Amino acid sequence: MEQERVPVLVVGGGYAGLSAALLLAWREVPVMLVERHPGTSIQPKAFGVGPRAVELLRPVPGVEEALGEIWAGIGDNMRIAIGKNLADPNPHMIMSDEQEELAFLADITPTAIVGAPQAEIERVLRRRAEELGADLRFSTELVALEQDEDGVTARIRAAGEEHLVRADYVVAADGYHSPLRRLLGVPTSGKGELGQMCGIMFDADLTGLVREREVTLWYLQNEVFSGVIITGTGVGAHVLAVNLAEGESAADFPVERCVELVRIAVDRPELDVRVLDKTTFAMAHLLADTYRAGRVFFAGDSAHTMPPTGGQGGSTALQDGCDIAWRLWLVLTGQAGPDFLDTYDAERRPIGTLTADSQLANLGVRMPPADRVGYPEPLEDPAGILIGYRYHSTAILDEPGDDGSILEDPRVPNGRPGSRAPHVVLDWEGQRISTIDLFGSGFVLMADKRGGQAWADAGRVIKERLGVQLTRLLVGEELVDVEGRWLERYGVSGGGAVLVRPDGYVAWRSVDADPDPVTTLERVMRQILNR
């Protein structure tokens, strides 16, 4: 049987799989992606991408710009509410003006929330990944997989023919039911399946119900059904998702009933409705108990399936894919030891669990089930989930007295190891950039020009000694701290230094000068990279 060879095989062509393939291809790691469906999604599916996910995609030329073009064509604001229908005169508003409620983001990130449907975003990711050389194979199914000490052998099927693929590592982004998770016997926890929904994509004129250039997301609770409606999706259509009653299936939703449900949802009995597509899907709270099984790494819904109430499922999946990509790159290029890959589970699983639990809590309020036993209470401030989580692993050197928290208020950047490197406005040869723009391609060692030259010199030595991709930057030379916030936000003195990872997270910092920066930096890099 014919056998191909590739460093990384990605199974699944949704958010997690496409982002992993994209970021691997951008880093010049050969990657093959197999997806059993003939193409990317035609249903809008998840809506919106948070700023942290955009920051991780930002280093790839052209991606953020393409996402911005989609968003510019959809709308500038979002309303989220609970009501009987779109005409409900007294809805309970969850978010009334996105620009006002999320205004703090402008001070902490150069990116914005991209309010676009998953279908549109997937097409952007696919196109750019293919342009960068990723081998994306749709209508191709993984049939079997075996692991050994040196790699993974997968059997794939396309057009009725089967052949083998030999890979160093596999990214399992194969969805909620995850055949790979089941094949490898990975246990799961959580509340499990919470019910089934029928998603109805329809076209209709909602003038007077929906404000122009605005996304409207309403959780509906009336005498006929409960569900959610999303309008302004930018695909010439809207989506109504209805909870199925016990015993119902897709067969119970013919076109006539779909039209009736849409009319009830918008309170317009005579509305002209054209049903474009329908699909049934499970709403679940299911968490993989490990994100690693040998040489296979779980990402997206195969790692954490969560209710849609909160809108972070898609962003979390994108972040998974981006995250495993840079870790695999470091190991495959010899910059990090093989055990470095254990940090993926150590860092991403707590965040996946926290996000899934938060959305489960939201479900208990926005679409309350008959039995809420075991449902957590919603977070008072969801900003931490959006862009303020922290990591803890061997790839982070915590400081003495660290409280081990995994959420912090992003409005108060502090530069602590394990936290996202703060946004600071810099001037680079007359061009305004963010510190966020400095991260992505490798490690970055930052110091102030006043007392930081010793760190820059040490960085040059360690870069050559360990063979790592390390950029050394002195703030105050070619990079000018426009607002005078760099030292404060990164929590260092003029003689200190900060080491930022490829994912834009602070791995370590020295608050003050060090008498032997070469020895210190080598120790730090070896520990972080499992060398």
Cross-strand pairs, 446? 473, 498
Domain 390-528 CATH assignment equals 3.20.20.220: no
Domain range annotation of the chain: 3-73+113-189+285-385, 191-284, 390-528
Active-site residue, from 169, 219, 391, 505: 219
The answer to whether 288 touches 175, Cβ cutoff 8 Å, is no
Phi-psi region for residue 300, left (φ > 0), alpha (ψ -120 to 50) or beta? left
- Distance in angstroms (rounded) separating the CA atoms of residues 332 and 326: 10
Cβ(117)–Cβ(47) under 8 Å? yes
Please state, in angstroms and rounded to a whole number, the distance separating the CA atoms of residues 318 and 530.
26
| Whether 107 contacts 424, CB under 8 Å | no
Q: Are 36 and 371 in contact (CB under 8 A)?
A: no
Strand pairing class (161-172; 3-11): parallel
Tell me the one-letter amino acid at 435. T
Nearest to 174 by CA among 13, 297, 351, 32: 13
Cβ within 8 Å of residue 177, ≥6 positions away: none
Q: Domain 191-284 carries which CATH code?
A: 3.30.9.10
Tokens standing for 209?
A: 């119900």
pLDDT digit of tens for each residue in the chain (531 aa)?
789 999 999 999 999 999 999 999 999 999 999 999 999 987 767 777 889 999 999 999 999 999 888 765 544 567 788 999 988 888 888 876 555 567 888 999 999 888 778 888 999 999 999 999 999 999 999 999 999 999 999 999 999 999 999 999 999 999 999 999 999 999 999 999 998 999 999 999 888 887 665 667 889 999 999 999 988 655 557 899 999 988 898 899 999 999 999 999 999 999 999 999 898 988 999 999 999 999 999 999 999 999 988 889 999 999 999 999 999 999 999 999 999 999 999 999 999 999 999 999 999 888 887 777 778 888 888 889 999 999 999 999 999 999 999 999 999 999 999 999 999 999 999 999 999 999 999 999 999 998 899 999 999 999 999 999 999 999 998 899 999 999 999 999 999 999 999 999 999 999 999 999 999 999 999 999 999
- The reply to whether 505 belongs to the active site is no
Dihedrals φ, ψ of 199, to 5°?
-95, 120
> Taking a C-beta distance cutoff of 8 angstroms, is the pair 120, 63 a contact?
no
Give the count of beta carbons closer than 10 Å to the beta carbon of residue 382: 17
- Within 10 Å of residue 346's Cβ, how many Cβ atoms? 16
| 496 φ, ψ (degrees, to nearest 5) | -85, 180
CA 13 – CA 129 distance, rounded (Å): 11
Secondary structure (DSSP) of 442-459: SEEEEEETTT-HHHHHHH
Q: Which residues contact 72 (CB under 8 A, 6 or more apart)?
A: none
For the domain made up of 3-73+113-189+285-385, give the CATH fold.
Answer: FAD/NAD(P)-binding domain (3.50.50)
Q: Pull the structure tokens for residue 389.
A: 């989580």
State how far the Cα of 526 lies from the Cα of 329, in Å rounded to an integer: 17
